Structure 1
Amino acid sequence: MLKDRLKSLILERSLKIADEPIFRLSSGKQSRYYIDLKQITLDPQGAYLVGKLMYEAIKPLSPDGAGGMTLGADPIAYSVAFVSYMDGNPIKPFVVRKEKKGHGLGRQVEGLLKPGEKVVVLEDVVTTANSSLKAVKACREEGLEVLGVFAIVDREEGGKENVNREGLELYSLFKLSELL
């Protein structure tokens, strides 16, 4: 089963566990657990597994696009785009910059999307969902309809609740508790 293979890869390559909270997360919090999913999403096998599983998760919502904050969401979006194209149901990838470009068209969301199209926001790991919600805000400012947030791993530290407060659902392939 693909999900079991992905879980094995995450446990083997990505999940680090310490006795004390020594890992600083992007949220600023210290944790005993660190999940480096770039060890998976930047690997050919991992990219395929993530792309296939994430595509199957988002397919029922029929989005036009899938993407999120650079850099964590980028390889996920490209994998989903490839798998969706191979399935005859292309979903366009997009990238959300940390801030608007200071030149050219001044875009924050890069991709082949038009206002009014439906998108899902992708994330590798969600803790508080701050970066996911920044991507949601940028998408909405571009006139895109956000259908939900999809993560590989939900650390179960308030992200789901924060996403729910924006009127959206957080879907995840795994919860941290399932990996421990």
Structure 2
Amino acid sequence: MQEEEVLAEFRASKALLEGHFLLSSGRHSAHYLQCARVLMNPDRAGRLAVALASKLPHDVRKQIDKVVSPAMGGVIIGQEMGRALQVDAMFVERPEGTFELRRGFELDPGDRVLMVEDVVTTGKSSREAIKAIEAAGGRVIAAASLVDRSGGAVDLGVPYFPLVEINFPTYADDELPPELAATPAIKPGSRVQP
């Protein structure tokens, strides 16, 4: 899938939003990608996962034992990536503020894991998820996401394969352009701000 095809999937599901948004990273943006909407259709979610799996180098694909994603945003794409790669998929969640495996999910020592996200902006959630996976005995050999909002600048500490790179500008509180500063921010994501 090319970038325009991926964006067409977001537009078709009304998942590409415009306005003033406060991202889970704490930064502001005039654009928000609501991946839950693009993934709510199982056929579309499957197509996107197959396209994302095809972005992984063959030698990486054949090594993956498990897929792990962070809850909430990564759960659906993580499950679909497990299906596309024909491996088990599970997720980490934050019951007490830090990611951990729960619900009986376990990694075997040395399991080679693909960590999958929906959208990566600063990489904070991804790095936290990778840390939790490693604490549970897994070895993260690569990361993937539907969208890299960093414009290719994010470093997750492992090879990273996004389906598309989108460089919508983001702003710190003290950098807001006048048109964003003039409207209240909406927080559409799942993570509570610190």
Q: TM-score range by the shorter chain?
A: 0.7 to 0.9
- Mapped pair 1:25 → 2:23: yes
Task: State how 1:1-180 maps to structure 2 within 5 Å.
Answer: 5-12=5-12, 13-18=14-19, 22-58=20-56, 60=58, 61=60, 62-84=63-85, 90-99=86-95, 108-110=100-102, 111=105, 113-156=107-150, 160-161=154-155, 163=156, 166=157, 168-177=158-167
- 1:3–1:49 Cα contact (<8 Å) kept: no
* TM-score, with structure 1 as normaliser: 0.78
* TM-score, with structure 2 as normaliser: 0.73
1:75-113 CA distance string (max 9 Å, x none): 1121122233xxxxx211011111469xxxxx9225353
Alpha-carbon distance between aligned partners in 2 of 1:172 and 1:24, rounded to the nearest angstrom: 22
Alpha-carbon distance between aligned partners in 2 of 1:100 and 1:114, rounded to the nearest angstrom: 24
Distance 1:59 1:114, change over 3 A: farther
Distance 1:14 1:57, change over 3 A: same
- 2:56–2:161 Cα contact (<8 Å) kept: no
Alpha-carbon distance between aligned partners in 1 of 2:114 and 2:161, rounded to the nearest angstrom: 10
Alpha-carbon distance between aligned partners in 2 of 1:83 and 1:144, rounded to the nearest angstrom: 20
1:115-165 CA distance string (max 9 Å, x none): 11100111101110111111000011011110121010011267623x1xx
Alpha-carbon distance between aligned partners in 2 of 1:64 and 1:130, rounded to the nearest angstrom: 24
Number of residues of Structure 1 aligned to a counterpart in Structure 2: 161
2:16 alignment partner AA: L
Task: Provide the secondary structure at the position in 2 that maps to 1:140.
Answer: helix
Alpha-carbon distance between aligned partners in 1 of 2:106 and 2:3, rounded to the nearest angstrom: 30
2:50 alignment partner AA: K
Alpha-carbon distance between aligned partners in 2 of 1:54 and 1:146, rounded to the nearest angstrom: 17
Name stretches of at least 5 consecutive residues in structure 2 with no aligned partner: 169-194
Name stretches of at least 5 consecutive residues in structure 1 with no aligned partner: 85-89, 102-106
- 1:100–1:108 Cα contact (<8 Å) kept: no
Partner of 2:188: none
Name the Cα RMSD after superposition: 2.6
